[in-house]
Amino acid sequence: EKKTQMMIGGRILIRSINLLLLLLLSLLRLSSAAPSAAGFNLSTISFDEGYTPLFADFNIKLSDDGRSANLLLNRYAGSGFISAKYYDYGFFSARIKLPGNYTA
- Domain range annotation of the chain: 2-34, 37-98
Q: What angle do CA 61, 51, 68 make, to 5 degrees?
A: 40
More confident residue, 25 or 7: 25
pLDDT tens-place string over residues 69-99: 888 887 788 888 888 887 766 667 777 777 7
Calpha distance 93→31 (Å, rounded): 24
Residues 67 and 93: beta-carbon distance below 8 Å: no
Res. 64 pLDDT band, cuts 50 70 90: very high
